[in-house]
Structure 1
Amino acid sequence: MKVPTLENNRVKLTLLDLNNYKHLSVIANQKNLVQYSPSKIDTPEDLKAYVQTALNWYESKTAIPFIIFDKQTETYAGTSRYMNINWHNKVLHIGATWIGREFQGTGLNKNMKFLMLQYAFETLGFEKVEFRVDERNTASRKAVQKIGGQFEGILRKNVVMLNGIRRNTCCYGILKEEWEILKTEVFEGF
């Protein structure tokens, strides 16, 4: 599976791999950056294991992990991925997204999501893109709603967190036919 480079004037997304993940070390050390995730990334060993897991899923064609480069600041900003890819049903998730605090609220995430949605719907031909967000993560929930994600319900206590607590997960989705409207109404001006 060939990984595309997704790029616009603001952001460039390329394959996250064992050759470039170290660019994310400083960001991964930010306190509570992934507090709503079941992943641990704050040590070099944990970050490498996180990337290796993503690459294992990439090899099995169920994920495509990206490293995010902010062209405005000329710095690596974080990571995101297509995951839980169901090629038969043409449904995938966009998730495992984390960007440094200095990039949050700057428009970087919206630019990145636009590119990922555009490629999923217009190039890969997917029918639906889903987002799964910890119920407590109000900032991420608002961000998904802002780009047109429709709330579809809550999976109760479906993910075990690092502290052993089971979280509730909010499910959002965007359908291909909704994308045609969203790309002009929500993402106009890109």
Structure 2
Amino acid sequence: MNIPTLENNRVKLSPLSLDNYTHLTKISQQENLVQYSPSKIDTPEDLKAYVQTALDWYNNNTALPFIVFDKQTNSYAGTSRYMNINWHNSVLEIGATWIGREFQGTGLNKNMKFLMLQYAFETLKFDKVEFRVDERNMASRKAVEKVGGTFEGLLRKNVLMLDGFRRNTCCFGVLNTEWSGIKSKIFNGF
């Protein structure tokens, strides 16, 4: 499957590739940008390896990675992807999302999530979208709740972090049957 381009008047999500990832080099070097992730992106080599992993998952039909362009500031802002795609069970996860600090709290993430949820439910016809967030990451947990994610439970010590810490992961979900209500209530006017 080809990676689509998703776009509205605020944001453009385009296929992430080895040809465009360098637009994110400066952002990826922001201190503690992905402190709650098991990924390392703060050097050009680490960022390239991160993108290559996303592309490997894409080639295995389990991910669709995006580069995020903020139309309001006319600049690249970060990445997100569909991942852990389970075609048989019609479930996917939206994750590996990070945007520079200057874009956080501006409404960019809400626009990104709207486009991704809309495409997952209305075009791909998936039954469920999941989000998995480090228990300690209160900002991301609140962001997922703001876009309609329902807390479904906690996976205890299931992810090994770079510093050797084993994190607990909060699981959130949105069902296809909930999408029309979420779309009209939370994303009214998008």
TM-score per shorter chain, which class? over 0.9
Deviation, structure 1 residue 157: 0.1
How many residues matched?
Answer: 190
Aligned CA RMSD, in angstroms, stands at: 0.4
Structure 1 counterpart of 2:87: 87
Q: Which runs of 4+ in 1 moved over 6 A?
A: none
Residue 37 of structure 2 aligns to a residue whose secondary structure is coil
In structure 2, give the amino acid aligned to 1:6: L
Displacement of 1:167 in angstroms is 0.2
1:106 — aligned with what?
106
Q: CA deviation at 1:2?
A: 1.2
Relative to the length of structure 2, the TM-score reads 1.00
* Other-structure match for 1:137: 137
Normalised by the length of structure 1, the TM-score is 1.00
Letter aligned with residue 118 of structure 2? Q
Describe the SS at the equivalent of 1:76: strand
For 2:72 and 2:31, the matched residues in 1 are separated by 24
Matched, 1:30 2:30: yes
Q: Deviations over 1:24-59 (max 9, x none)?
A: 001000000000000000000000000000000000
Structure 2 stretches lacking a partner, 5+ long: none
> Post-superposition shift, 1:3?
1.2
User: Gaps (5+ residues) in structure 1?
Assistant: none
Match in the other structure for 1:13: 13
1:51 alignment counterpart: 51
State the alpha-carbon separation in 1 of the partners of residues 157 and 97 from structure 2.
Answer: 21
Kindly provide the CA deviation profile for residues 39-85 of structure 1, in whole angstroms up to 9, marking residues without a partner as x. Answer: 00000000000000000000010000000000010000000000000
In structure 2, give the amino acid aligned to 1:138: M
CA shift, 1:98, in A, is 0.1
Once the two structures are superposed, the pairs formed by residues 60-75 of structure 1 within 5 Å of their partners are 60-75=60-75
Mapped partners of 2:122, 2:31: distance in 1: 37
SS at match of 2:32: coil
% identity of equivalent residues = 77
Deviation (angstroms), 1:189: 1.4
C-alpha offsets along residues 71-113 of structure 1, whole Å, 9 cap, x if unaligned?
Answer: 0100000000000000010000000000000000000000000
Distance 2:46 2:5 in 1: 26
